[in-house]
Amino acid sequence: MRLLIIGTGNAFSARRFGCSAIIQGPTGQIMIDCPDSYPMALRQAQEKSGWKIDQLAITDVIVTHLHGDHCNGLESLGFLRWLHHRETGASLPKLHLWKPVADRLWERLAPAMDQSGAAKLSDYFEIHFLNQERESLIGGMKVSCRGTQHPIPTSALKFKADGKVIAWSSDTPFDPSLIDWLAKDADLIIHETSPPPTHTPVELLNSLAPKIRLKMRLMHMNDEFDPASTTIPCLQEGEVISI
Ligand SMILES: [Zn+2]
């Protein structure tokens, strides 16, 4: 698996894009979360990394929750791919969400996308539910999800392929049981940090066992975050990680 970091900021950041990444799996290119200004974020990550990303070639999108800094780009992505689908017959992107997240998605998108009642969610995306009870096969990777204690339904994720595992906390307060779930078998743990109570302060991540911290990288930083406050490396936009 290869991972391109697209955005690393929190909801209020003026210096970073919202948290997002592209994973190249064995059979697909998967975008994790779809924040504001994602086309510009993709372009800048592409320029920094040399990894060419074509918005029309993204096969799958996983949305962890419906806070805008994780999903505001869905309107743009949906319209772009709907127009491309109409012009060329190309496949719509698959959109994967935990069912409690999916249940309110159209409620959020419809005022901008229902074309006065003529269009529905399935005109833009092929919807698939993530299930806590079983793995989903996405882009050739086995993907599992687990709800976090964020104030709205939010799913953490694990990606497995080629005997390797990438874990993604999404937004969460500090939760040792979630960290146990993320760390089990993981080669890389991408964990959020931002001020509590709905997010995880870095001081609590600093107290974790060294074997967990060594596998951990941080995202979802606010602009005041001091990288010197921790030995856990902060992810950089445009960074490529091969696992
Ligand atoms: Zn959130």
Q: How many domains, in total, are found in the chain?
A: 1
Q: Do residues 37 and 20 touch, judged by C-beta distance below 8 A?
A: no
> How far is it, in rounded angstroms, from Cα 95 to Cα 209?
35
124-178 tens-digit pLDDT: 999 999 999 999 999 999 999 999 999 999 999 999 999 999 999 999 999 999 9
- In the reported structure, the alpha carbon of residue 185 is separated from the centroid of ligand 1 by a whole-number distance in angstroms of 25
How close is the Cα of 200 to the center of ligand 1, in Å? 11
Query: How far does residue 67's CA lie from ligand 1's centre (Å)?
Result: 5
Domain ranges, residue 49: 2-242
CATH number of the domain that 174 lies in?
Answer: 3.60.15.10
pLDDT at 54: 94
| Distance (Å) from CA 171 to ligand 1 centroid | 5
User: Nearest-CA neighbor of 62 among 24, 20, 123?
Assistant: 20
Cα radius of gyration rounded to whole Å, the chain:
17
211 Cα: distance to centroid of ligand 1 (angstroms): 27
* Ligand 1 centroid to residue 44 C-alpha, Å: 23
Q: Cα 65 to chain center, whole Å?
A: 9
Cα(103) to centroid(ligand 1), Å = 17
